[in-house]
């Protein structure tokens, strides 16, 4: 039977759906909010998500979009269940990739029939995608031999591909052009903006772009392929303090290059930091990046952009952003690298967001106290209290790096002179 995720903030509907599906033999996980659902989806693969639409802070529409855009390696089908029965809701639901829509109240039989039929359809879709000899399994992109699909989301598909001209292996991000009205126009605009931004950046700390183009049916970006995976996976396996410091320096240097071009990333997080075989790292996923002086942001009015555990207070408040917002996200990720937990956590999204806005800044363990001034300033609630730019952060950070941190506690704790020096720099 299938592995299903039921998402609804109302206990009665969540329990009704879960009990019905479990009685049919399915394995069912429940989530009381989209934030919890997203966390669950990072550690488990679900064959199908059944979600409400109207939920606090994040809607079911936002959940569906995030499930299939944020570093996803596999398409996650979604069935919506809602009391909303208007045409606009239907259009928006299928615009974010829904495969079915159940209007509340519905019967057990209606739910089971929908799940049964859609599981069969998605299984056929996956089988067709990998079936030998299926010429429609992957698009035909001139100049590239596509090997396999490695990612899928609202901004297109990502394929492992070989460039015919050079034989170089790359990640090919492809958006198929179809006539689907305003939603397609919105996605295409975001895709083209990402292509334009990436093409301007030439730095080792940012994923390399080898090629980009457009034909009658597709827009594509050929980017560097990272077989070692991302920082999120590395953190799950554990990294040393020395490695954490090395990665933070590299990420900051990549951000400096991005900011120098007047671009803010807006979604700095472990899943968007890729690892190379030689120990270097690179920023990826500029799908929601923004030019600081751009008139068009390609976001809906009042929409929060980012990932909750790493979002700056001004992102949460949908306020004006600048490079200091990326520095806040870097600080949240830095803290997680050092402690193996994000700075703020909770079962509900609202709790996490409120901690970013109001809670005391997190304290590092005693043996890492030398780094506390850096964390405090990166994670300052008021942007004016943070480092004004990446260069200022790197100036203070270099003091720690020159001390050549190791994994030996004695080395971490012995340099009182270095601690005083760092404290002095952090106050400048």
User: What residues act catalytically?
Assistant: 267
* CA pair distance 364, 345, nearest whole angstrom: 15
Helix (H, G, I), strand (E, B) or coil at 103: strand
Q: Which residues contact 19 (CB under 8 A, 6 or more apart)?
A: none
* CA pair distance 33, 320, nearest whole angstrom: 27
* CA pair distance 156, 189, nearest whole angstrom: 12
Q: ∠ CA(229), CA(232), CA(233), 5° rounding? A: 55
Q: E strands within 123-241?
A: 144-153, 156-163, 169-176, 209-214, 218-223
* CA pair distance 143, 220, nearest whole angstrom: 11
Residue 198: other Cβ atoms inside 10 A? 21
The single residue listed with the structure tokens 């809602």 is: 82
Least Cα distance to 415 among 428, 397, 402 occurs for 402
Q: Give the β-pairing of 3-7 and 27-31.
A: parallel
Q: Which residues contact 409 (CB under 8 A, 6 or more apart)?
A: 367
Report the sign of the C-alpha dihedral through residues 41, 46, 48, 51, in that order. negative
């Amino acid at each position: 039977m299938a592995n299903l995720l039921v998402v609804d903030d109302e206990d009665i509907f969540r329990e009704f759906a879960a009990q019905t599906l479990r009685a049919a033999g399915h394995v069912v996980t429940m989530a009381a909010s989209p934030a919890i659902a997203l966390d669950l989806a990072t550690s488990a693969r679900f064959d199908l998500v059944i979600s409400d639409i109207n939920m606090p802070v994040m809607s079911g529409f936002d959940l569906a979009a995030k499930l299939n855009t944020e570093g996803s390696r596999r398409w996650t089908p979604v069935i919506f269940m809602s009391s909303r029965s208007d045409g606009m809701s239907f259009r928006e639901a299928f615009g974010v990739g829904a495969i079915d829509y159940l209007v509340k109240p519905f019967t057990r039989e209606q739910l089971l029939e929908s799940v049964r039929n859609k599981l069969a359809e998605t299984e056929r879709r996956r089988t067709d995608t990998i079936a030998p000899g299926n010429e429609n399994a992957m698009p035909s992109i001139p100049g590239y031999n596509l090997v396999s699909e490695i990612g899928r989301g609202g901004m297109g598909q990502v394929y492992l591909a070989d460039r015919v001209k050079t034989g170089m292996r790359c990640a090919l991000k492809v958006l198929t052009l179809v006539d689907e009205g305003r939603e397609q126009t919105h996605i295409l605009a975001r895709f083209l903006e990402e292509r334009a931004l990436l093409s301007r950046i030439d730095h080792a700390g940012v994923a390399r772009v080898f090629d980009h183009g457009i034909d009658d049916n597709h827009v594509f970006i050929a980017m560097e392929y990272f077989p070692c995976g991302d920082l999120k996976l590395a953190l799950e396996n554990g990294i040393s303090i020395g490695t954490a410091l090395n990665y933070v320096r590299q990420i900051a240097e990549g951000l400096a290059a991005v900011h120098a071009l007047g671009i803010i990333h807006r979604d700095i997080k472990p899943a968007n930091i890729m690892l190379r075989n030689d120990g270097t790292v690179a920023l990826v996923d500029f799908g929601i990046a923004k030019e600081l002086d751009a008139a068009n942001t390609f976001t809906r009015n009042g929409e929060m952009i980012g990932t909750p555990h790493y979002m700056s207070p001004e992102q949460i408040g949908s306020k004006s952003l600048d490079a200091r917002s990326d520095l806040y996200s870097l600080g949240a990720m830095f803290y997680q690298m050092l402690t193996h937990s994000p700075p703020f956590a909770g079962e509900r999204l609202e709790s996490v967001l409120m901690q970013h806005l109001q809670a005391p800044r997190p304290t590092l363990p005693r043996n890492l106290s030398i780094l506390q001034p850096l964390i405090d300033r990166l994670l300052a609630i008021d942007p004016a209290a943070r480092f004004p730019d990446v260069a200022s952060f790197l100036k203070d950070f270099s003091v720690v790096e020159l001390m050549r941190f190791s994994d030996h506690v004695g080395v971490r704790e012995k340099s009182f002179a270095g601690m005083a020096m760092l404290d002095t720099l952090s106050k400048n």
